[in-house]
């Protein structure tokens, strides 16, 4: 509840499908690079792999897995005052008064916030592959936007 006694609605949106896929890929990468790293010492090719090479291979697997897990980072947090958009690398905060609309263009991979002067910010937390979740997420964001602009 806010000071006036009205219920404050906050929504938090995160992508669904990409999170499962990214975690599976990350676990697979760590597993494969660990096995390869452990097997490097037993090669009949005449190449000499040291323990440091094996450790480097395993560390490389963890680094690649960390890169894949960056795809799980997108999140949107929105309430009556504004919206916070966190994508893979960047984060933005917008007051609803600065947002013209919430859109999901045909053929787009994710939703976006339309801003003044023909600018927009992609909302990677709302992805087309999540289908019904994406539709309900865009509707929820539009309702908060509409309520804040009135």
pLDDT tens readout for residues 20-74:
999 999 999 999 999 999 888 766 777 778 889 899 999 999 999 999 999 999 9
Supply the mean pLDDT for the chain. 90
Is 87 or 150 the better-scoring residue by pLDDT? 87
| Two structure tokens written together for 127 | 């992805």
What is the distance between the alpha carbons of residues 135 and 111, in angstroms, rounded to a whole number?
10
In 3D space, the residue among 139, 89, 88 whose CA is nearest the CA of residue 111 turns out to be: 139
What mean pLDDT is predicted for residues 1-22?
A: 77
The share of the chain scoring above pLDDT 90, in percent, equals 79
| Two structure tokens written together for 45 | 């090719």
What is the distance between the alpha carbons of residues 20 and 145, in angstroms, rounded to a whole number?
30
Residue 5 has pLDDT above 60, yes or no: no
Which sequence spans correspond to the domains of the chain? 12-71, 77-148
What is the distance between the alpha carbons of residues 148 and 127, in angstroms, rounded to a whole number?
24
pLDDT of the residue at 71: 94
Q: Which residues, other chains included, contact 134 with Cβ-Cβ below 8 Å and sequence gap of 6+?
A: 104, 111, 126, 127, 128
Band (1; pLDDT cuts 50, 70, 90): very low
Q: What count of other Cβ atoms lies within 10 Å of the Cβ of residue 141?
A: 24
What residues does 92 pair with on adjacent strands?
Answer: 85
pLDDT of the residue at 62: 98
- pTM given for the model: 0.79
């Amino acid at each position: 509840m806010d000071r006036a006694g009205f219920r404050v609605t906050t929504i938090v949106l995160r992508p669904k499908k990409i999170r499962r896929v990214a975690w599976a890929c990350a676990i697979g990468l760590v597993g494969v690079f660990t096995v390869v790293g452990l097997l490097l010492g037993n090669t009949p090719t005449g190449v000499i792999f040291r323990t440091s090479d094996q450790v480097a291979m395993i560390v490389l697997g963890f680094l690649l897995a960390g890169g894949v897990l960056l795809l799980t980072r997108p999140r949107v947090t929105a309430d009556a005052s504004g919206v916070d958009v966190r994508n893979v690398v960047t984060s933005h905060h917008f007051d609803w008064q600065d947002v013209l609309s919430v859109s999901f263009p045909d053929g787009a991979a994710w939703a976006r916030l339309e801003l003044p002067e023909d600018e927009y910010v992609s909302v990677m937390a709302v992805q087309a592959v999540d289908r019904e979740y994406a539709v309900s997420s865009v509707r929820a964001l539009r309702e908060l936007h509409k309520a804040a602009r009135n």
